């Protein structure tokens, strides 16, 4: 790390401390050459893809937002906070392992639906309605038609059955 004042790359750490709830280390450094001090921050590289919204805008992935969406769908349903956290973990792991730089919000929503419909079908339908900003029953129909037609790749075939189960149970409730 070069000194920002004289660009010499020799320096020593004079203080280290955790910041941002432990997700960052700040190091106070002193330049060997000019003696000036500066701070460096070390964080785990964030490799989760950015999210492409319906209107093509891009957003940083936001775990809190996703978790709140799932929690909201699970209000008064027999789904524990722990189960919600694990669900979000699995979705994040999938995003991380995909290696994609950008994914659509529909893709993330579908992944959550697969996971959620295996836990609680009604919560999955609620999640779909909020996630897609449904305003009429035809929006549900269009959405479920869309996710039913989508080929599900890899080992997620079990999830596809669950989504279809959600569609069926949704239709049965209407
Ligand atoms: Zn210097």
CA 18 to centroid of ligand 1, rounded, Å: 24
pLDDT exceeds 90 at position 103? yes
CA 43 to centroid of ligand 1, rounded, Å: 23
CA 100 to centroid of ligand 1, rounded, Å: 39
Q: What is the pLDDT of residues 130-166, one digit of tens each?
A: 776 666 667 667 766 665 555 444 344 444 445 555 5
Q: Sheet of 11-19: strands edge to edge?
A: 11-19, 24-31, 37-43
CA 5 to centroid of ligand 1, rounded, Å: 5
Q: What is the pLDDT of residues 65-77, one digit of tens each?
A: 899 989 999 999 9
Q: What is the pLDDT of residues 22-38, one digit of tens each?
A: 778 999 999 999 999 99
For 41-62, b/e burial (b = at least 16 CB within 10 A) is: eeeeeeebbebbeeeeeeeebe
- Whether the model pTM is above 0.75: no
Kindly tell me the sign of the dihedral angle through the C-alpha atoms of 42, 47, 53, 57.
positive
CA 15 to centroid of ligand 1, rounded, Å: 17
CA 45 to centroid of ligand 1, rounded, Å: 27
CA 85 to centroid of ligand 1, rounded, Å: 46
What's the token pair of residue 71? Answer: 């929690």
Name which of 107, 110, 112, 106 is nearest 89 in CA terms: 112
């Amino acid at each position: 790390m070069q000194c920002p004042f004289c660009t010499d790359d020799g320096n020593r750490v004079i203080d280290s401390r955790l910041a941002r709830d432990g997700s960052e280390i700040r190091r106070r450094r002193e330049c060997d050459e000019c003696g000036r001090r500066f701070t460096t921050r070390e964080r785990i590289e964030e490799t989760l893809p950015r999210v492409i919204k319906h209107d093509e805008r891009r957003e940083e992935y936001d775990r809190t937002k996703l978790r709140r969406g799932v929690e909201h769908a699970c209000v008064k349903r027999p789904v524990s906070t722990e189960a919600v956290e694990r669900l979000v973990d699995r979705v994040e792991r999938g995003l991380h392992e995909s290696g994609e730089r950008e994914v659509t919000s529909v893709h993330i929503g579908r992944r959550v639906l697969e996971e959620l419909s295996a836990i609680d079908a009604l919560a999955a339908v609620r999640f779909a309605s909020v996630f897609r900003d449904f305003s009429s029953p035809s929006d549900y129909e269009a959405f479920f038609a869309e996710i039913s037609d989508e080929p599900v790749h890899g080992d997620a075939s079990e999830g596809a059955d669950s989504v279809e189960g959600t569609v069926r149970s949704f239709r049965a409730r209407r």
